[in-house]
Amino acid sequence: MHYLIASWTHKNTDIKLREKLALNDEGKQKEILRLVCANSNISEAMALSTCNRVEIIVCADDIKKATKHIFNSLSLLSQVSPQILQYRATIYENEGAVHHLFSVASSLDSLVVGENQIPGQLKKAFKFAYNSANAAGEIFSLIHFALKTAANVKNLTQISKNPVSVSSVAVIKAKQIYEQINKSLNGANALVIGAGQMASLVCKHLVANNTNITLVNRTAQKAQNLAQNLNGVIKVEDFSKLNELLNSHRLIFVATSACEAIIKDELIRPCEFRRYIFDICVPRNVALSEQDNVEVFFVDDLDEIVRQNLELRQDQANEAYAIVRAGVVEFYKWLKAKNSAPAIKALRDKARQVCEQELKIAIKKGYLKKSDEIEAKKLLHQAFKAFLHSPSVALKTLNDKTTLNALETLFDIKIQNDDEII
């Protein structure tokens, strides 16, 4: 079995391609897992889709065949040619795949290094794959150790302190723009469209800057709930007023889960003031032609602030990568021990059976008294335990298929490989 990850991120694709690949609803998520797992070479699979990445994680017998199948499957769903997918993809195999996933979980591969959203997104992606019967023991163990490593990075470094996200970077960019035009976010009016996690983070950062927020969402109750949870003075308006609100606000943040553009040319009227629209959605929710006094920023336009963020956190990132490497070592150590456990158990069961059988014969023939049976059992147990110590230690590193097959033949045992979720 091999671990394999096919990855398309902000590092190797632009936003146009990522929004075509985005698995932004349950239907697409279920379909990509169905397509990928239809190949008998792939035993387990999960898909991670965020604003900055789409990654397919699988357990496969043959890496080359599995990779080709992933390209073909994603091509069917996204209508992007397999050739383009292959050209843009970064492929991680085995230990490289483990290291990459642990880095992703630890927010070291994010557009904004140290953001706190990715572990939750990873948990959600695995849960969906597990409930869809596409991921079980092998991927469970991988995700378990990935999240454990992420927790160590968070607790042992400062990289996630004063958390930064794409939402916060958008607010930072808005703050910079306002400073350039001799204005301040303090007391300014901002329109936030959406009521999910991204919108919530935008609102939190705007509240911290004493910005007056007007919140609008298709589901009014979600907007009301968000306003109440923030305990800030947030005005909630009905979605039917979106047109009016777009043309009365200078500062606009779009953070919805819509699968297509909701802000188009027909909604925008000429205004005397310049508008700044931040679309932090993938797929993009803003589709405007070039207009006077309207400036639109997408996720990929925040790169400069992200670069500065990375430079500031580089020392902490180096420490974090050391923790990731240690996590990878720990995982493989556990994996080897896990693989050897059934063989060690089979050997000990065989030794116990032989000892008990010979003990019964010895008592039956009068070589030992019945009253000595308990003490004799203890002695035999210690003897076979001592005898099997060296083979048990060796099996923790030498547990390949050839070795295990040889053990079965030499000792007449059956090694049961149960993929238990721990």
Over the stretch 202-226, which tens digit does the pLDDT of each residue have?
A: 998 898 888 999 999 999 899 998 8
Q: pTM surpassing 0.85?
A: no
Average pLDDT, the chain: 87
User: How do beta strands 294-298 and 275-279 pair?
Assistant: parallel
| CB of 285 closer than 8 Å to CB of 261 | yes
pLDDT of residue 125: 94
Q: How far apart are CA 48 and CA 67, in angstroms?
A: 16
Spans of the chain below 70 pLDDT: 112, 114, 161-164, 232, 306-313, 339, 396-397, 399-400, 417-422
Q: What is the pLDDT of residue 349?
A: 84
**CATH 3.40.50.720 is held by the domain 166-309:** yes
pLDDT (0 to 100) of residue 312:
61
The alpha carbon torsion through 119, 121, 47, 128 (nearest 10 deg) reads 110
Provide the pLDDT for residue 103. 94
Gap between the Cα atoms of 389 and 412, Å rounded: 19
Active site residues: 51
The boundaries of every CATH 3.40.50.720 domain in the chain are: 166-309
Q: Is 166 exposed, middle or buried (0-12, 13-18, 19+ CB in 10 A)?
A: buried
Strands (E) across 94-142 are located at none
Residue 392, classified by CB atoms within 10 Å of its CB into exposed (0-12), middle (13-18) or buried (19+), is middle
pLDDT, tens only, 226-278: 888 887 678 999 999 999 999 999 999 999 888 888 899 999 998 889 999 99
The two three-digit tokens of residue 92, written as one number: 């991680």
Residue with tokens 């204005």: 183
CATH topology for 2-163 is: Beta Polymerase; domain 2 (3.30.460)
**What residues does CATH 3.30.460.30 cover in the chain?**
2-163
